[in-house]
Structure 1
Amino acid sequence: MSEQLHDISVSEMDLTMQEFVKLIRATKSQFGTKIPEMVQNYTKTVKGQINNSAVTHAYELIKKILKADYVNDSDGEKIYFDEHHWVKLMYGSSGQQEAHLFPIAQKDMISLIALMVNATDSRVIITTHSPYILTSSNILLYSEKVENNYRGEEKPVIPRSIRLSYHKFAAYKVENAADSLTSLMDENSHMISTDYIDKVSEITNNELVIR
């Protein structure tokens, strides 16, 4: 999208999209030519040190999601499948990840978001109707509860860097009424209600049958 900004009339967009385009324009100059260069600026500690472990992990997850590598050179942004095969990013971008990303890629995307949230002490808001996104979040929430109480010497199943803290996590459902907001968090399990996830899966399956 950053390559197409000169063709975009911002005044014709809604306010949210206008702010998004302004953000892209303001931050584009900060991007490096490759993924590690782009990520490292956002993983610096308070003292300005780069979190190399987070950079490496993020790079691995991004390549796993893309099934390719990203390069931004003088010819624009590209997705490289190998040394000789690539496609312009503008032709490979995807919106609505729930609809267009394979479930495993959705899981990896949640791991990537969790990694960056923990590495940068950031806050993220995600709107979704995907049971895969909800379930993937639950796994990271559950691992925080279980593995923090485990003191064995074996390697943890879920790395600490991508675990989600129940005390810093919230999930809500928005009902038909604009002012109706209901928490989905289970205080006992420290996870998103599995009953609600099952309901989302059922609704999704019914929609597929109808179509």
Structure 2
Amino acid sequence: MEEKIHITDFLVIKNAELEIKQINVLIGPQANGKSVIAKLLYFFQGISTEFLKGIRSQLSKRELDKAIIDKFESYFPKYAWDGTGFSIVYTINDIQIEIHGQAKNKTKTKLSLKYSEELKKLYTAKKRIFLEKINDNQLEEEPLRGRGASEASIYRQHILVPLRTSKYSDFFSDPIFIPASRSFFANLQKNIFTFLSSNVDIDPFLTDFGSFYERAKALFKEDIFIRNSNDKQLIKNLYKAAEKVINGEYEYKDKQDWIISTKGKRTNLANASSGQQESLPMLIVLCVLPILKNPNLPKAQALTFIEEPEAHLFPSAQSLIVSIITELSSTFDLKFFITSHSPYILSALNNCILGSEVLGKNEKSTERFQQINNGSGAPLDFEKVSAYTIMDGKTINIIDSEYKMIGAEMLDEVSDHFQDVMNNLLNME
């Protein structure tokens, strides 16, 4: 599969070109555009949802285009880019989607949307098929189910499943965005009615994640799903790793989130540590991904985006997060896009890459790798990793193909800085 994005002069990004692989890392200082790139990718991957809605609602192409532009403006408010010119081109296999901004004056930008002719034809054809199937169903003398149920069944059988098992499956998939500021949900649980009545605009990325998070909580540690899974032991291993990160067990009781310590003490998430508040929503979603993976739609694998997985966590806990990600990627062929400030994330990923190299040469088992790596994680194929940083608004590839490492120079620079300071101080004695 080929997937890439090219961004020119959008917000803080001057020129960014990224190739998307199975594990993708974007690392660097704060406020340099990492989140912008991740959110743009999420937006483009989510355009398929608008196509599916348009098919079901029989929207014209003009109406579909407006829905896509409206979604873009909800993710990236006009005030941030009005009066500027920019270009964003997203490609996935044979499909290309472009959004261009043409500056009319210093305060006005006109947006234009373009996408592949093949996608236009596919949209028209699927609209026609759906309408024909709906009309055929209405002509039946005794429908087996109500109209709503029949329509849902027709949509799934003749539209959704065929698209997600076709050559377009990579495009018609559902991305997940795990944003930063996840502690928002810890405080929301007790104040949701006050919050909802306040008419405050909510970040759409938090809204998207919140909806998914609520569903994930209902599935977390649900026995029936674990029993029916072919990967029971792996799911249990994920739970154990998550419990190590939050230093306790998670419990959802009385419509509240609780963490139970190893000594049995119950702490409401709203009163938990900042590390627990930031990591728990992310961990719950990651742990239920194997349950949500649909065996009937094997090709429909979208990216799971994670902003700052290291937030408020000790380095050993950051390593556990990487272990969870690599196990999910290795076992279920899941894809991830990570934005981070932490060199420890790079170091943990490099260990997994080295594990793949050593295991291949010495035929050691994955179990041996996990014994060395705190009982978790999986070797990671170097060729399935992409890694970038951003400098002066431009992306820089930090893959070292010679030594098969990511961010080697960045890690050396961080280490050298602290070493230089220490040496200078020692020389002053």
Aligned residue number for residue 400 of structure 2: 186
Q: Does 1:137 align with 2:323?
A: no
Q: Which amino acid aligns with 2:315?
A: P
Query: How far off is 1:20 after superposition?
Result: 2.2
- Tell me how large the CA RMSD over aligned residues is: 3.3
Select the structure of larger CA radius of gyration.
Answer: 2
TM-score by length of structure 1 reads: 0.76
- Match runs of 1:49-128 below 5 Å: 49-82=229-262, 84-92=264-272, 93-94=277-278, 98-128=310-340
Unaligned runs of 5+ in 1: 207-211
Q: How far, CA to CA, are the matches of 1:80 and 1:168 in structure 2? A: 37
Q: Which has the higher contact order (CA 8 A, sep 6+)?
A: 2
Query: How far off is 1:189 after superposition?
Result: 2.2
8 Å Cα contact 2:327/2:378 also seen in 1: yes
8 Å Cα contact 2:309/2:338 also seen in 1: no
Query: How far off is 1:162 after superposition?
Result: 1.5
Q: How far, CA to CA, are the matches of 2:416 and 2:195 in structure 1? A: 39
Query: How far off is 1:132 after superposition?
Result: 0.8
Q: Does 1:16 align with 2:230?
A: no
Superposed CA offset, 1:46-103 (max 9, x none)? xx74301211211221121112111112352210014641111233202655451111
Structure with the higher strand share, 1 or 2: 2
Q: Which amino acid aligns with 2:337?
A: I
Q: How many pairs align?
A: 195
Tell me the SS of whatever aligns to 2:250.
strand
Q: How far, CA to CA, are the matches of 1:165 and 1:30 in structure 2? A: 33
Q: How far, CA to CA, are the matches of 1:17 and 1:89 in structure 2? A: 18
Q: How far, CA to CA, are the matches of 1:163 and 1:150 in structure 2? A: 13
TM-score by length of structure 2 reads: 0.40
- Counterpart of 1:197 (choices 402, 411, 415) is 411
Query: How far off is 1:205 after superposition?
Result: 9.2
Q: Which amino acid aligns with 1:90?
A: A
Give identity over the alignment, percent. Answer: 20
Q: How far, CA to CA, are the matches of 2:364 and 2:200 in structure 1? A: 58
Q: Quick one: structure 1 residues 28 and 138, their matched pair in 2 at CA, closer, same or farther if it must change by over 3 Å? A: closer
Q: How far, CA to CA, are the matches of 1:76 and 1:154 in structure 2? A: 38
Aligned residue number for residue 168 of structure 1: 384
